[in-house]
Amino acid sequence: MRSARDSEQPHEPSEIAEAFTTAELRLDPPPGAYEELRHRAAARRRRRLVAVTAAVVLSAGGTTVVAAMARSDGEQGQAPVAAEPPPRDEQRAEPPPEPSSEPSDEPAAPPTGQAEPDAGDTPPVEEENETAGASTPSVCATEALALGVENPNAGAGSLMYTLAFTNTGDTACTLTGFPGVSLLTAEGGEQIGAPAVRGPEGGEALRVELQPGGTARADLRLARAENYPAEECSPVPAAGLLVYPPDETDALFLPREGVTGCTDEAVGLLSVTVVY
């Protein structure tokens, strides 16, 4: 055993202990190391600036996802750095393209927010134009009509006539309803007795369209004045018939021979139907 005295004496270093003892050495960095580090830091800042600029351009073009990758020189396997999008007020939209002056065969697109019309919603332009052009003809004017008599017939105590209205104009026209008929002492003379009453024999009044040269007709019955007592009839000879076309105020004169009228308006000799 070692005595306390031996333990108080200092140990002398041995060669083995010196072999395992490492001296603490500090080495200075090689020349140019700091410049290299600054160069790499500046390169990283430039790449970040390029990534942010690319993010602004892509965001203005409508791209919602922006990815920017930066890789340091000589460093492999480093994770890409995602660029942060710039504030909304710093984003600028690209100006719209100028309209081309060249004609295009493609149909124009509808305004934003407006739906394109379906084929079934398209108005029938041609049908509307045809309907507008095929308007109802106007009423036949008196000066555009020629008046004649067809199928005169002497019945029991009456004379039967068919009044014929012929369109002499260049355009179509219409006649609807009853003509007005009365006896005259002469052309341009005085009316004899009462005008014709509207008889129900012709039925309901309908619109009759006359093309140029077309004819519409109405039946007229003329009772013989000789069938009535002279004191009631007060007979006088008539020169013909004064006829007003339906809805007209100008009349046509139709000469007739051998006709007698009653001056007493209480005696009705004439009855007419609607045109047909």
For residue range 50-63, list pLDDT tens digits in order.
Answer: 776 776 666 655 54
Region 204-227: mean pLDDT is: 95
- What is the structure's pLDDT at 57? 62
* Percent of the chain whose pLDDT exceeds 70: 58
Kindly report the pTM of this predicted structure: 0.52
Q: Is 221 helix (H, G, I), strand (E, B) or coil?
A: strand
Q: Specify the pairing of strand 207-210 against strand 191-192.
A: unpaired
- Confidence category of residue 38, pLDDT binned at 50, 70, 90: confident
The answer to whether 173 and 245 are in contact (CB under 8 A) is no
- Confidence category of residue 274, pLDDT binned at 50, 70, 90: very high
- Confidence category of residue 235, pLDDT binned at 50, 70, 90: very high
Full DSSP string of 89-151: GG--PPPPPPPPSS--SSPPPPPTT-PPPPGGGS--HHHHHHHHHSPPPPBPPGGGEEEEEEE
- What is the structure's pLDDT at 42? 79
- What is the structure's pLDDT at 53? 73
Q: How far apart are CA 274 and CA 136, in angstroms?
A: 20
How buried is residue 94: exposed, middle or buried, by Cβ count under 10 Å (0-12/13-18/19+)? exposed
How buried is residue 269: exposed, middle or buried, by Cβ count under 10 Å (0-12/13-18/19+)? buried
Q: What are 68-126's pLDDT values in tens digits?
A: 444 444 444 444 444 555 555 445 555 555 555 555 555 555 555 555 545 455 545 44
- What is the structure's pLDDT at 154? 82
The answer to whether 195 and 220 are in contact (CB under 8 A) is no
Strand partners, 165: 147, 216
Dmax of the chain from CA atoms?
193
Q: What is the mean pLDDT of the chain?
A: 75
Extended strands (E) in the chain:
145-154, 158-167, 173-176, 180-184, 191-192, 197-198, 207-210, 215-223, 235-244, 252-262, 270-272
226 backbone dihedrals φ, ψ, rounded to 5°: -65, -15
The answer to whether 240 and 187 are in contact (CB under 8 A) is yes
Q: Specify the pairing of strand 235-244 against strand 252-262.
A: antiparallel
Q: Which residue is listed with tokens 């942010």?
A: 52
- What is the structure's pLDDT at 61? 57
Region 152-158: mean pLDDT is: 84
Say how far residue 164 (Cα) sits from the centre of its chain: 46
Q: Which amino acid makes up residue 39?
A: H
- What is the structure's pLDDT at 136? 84
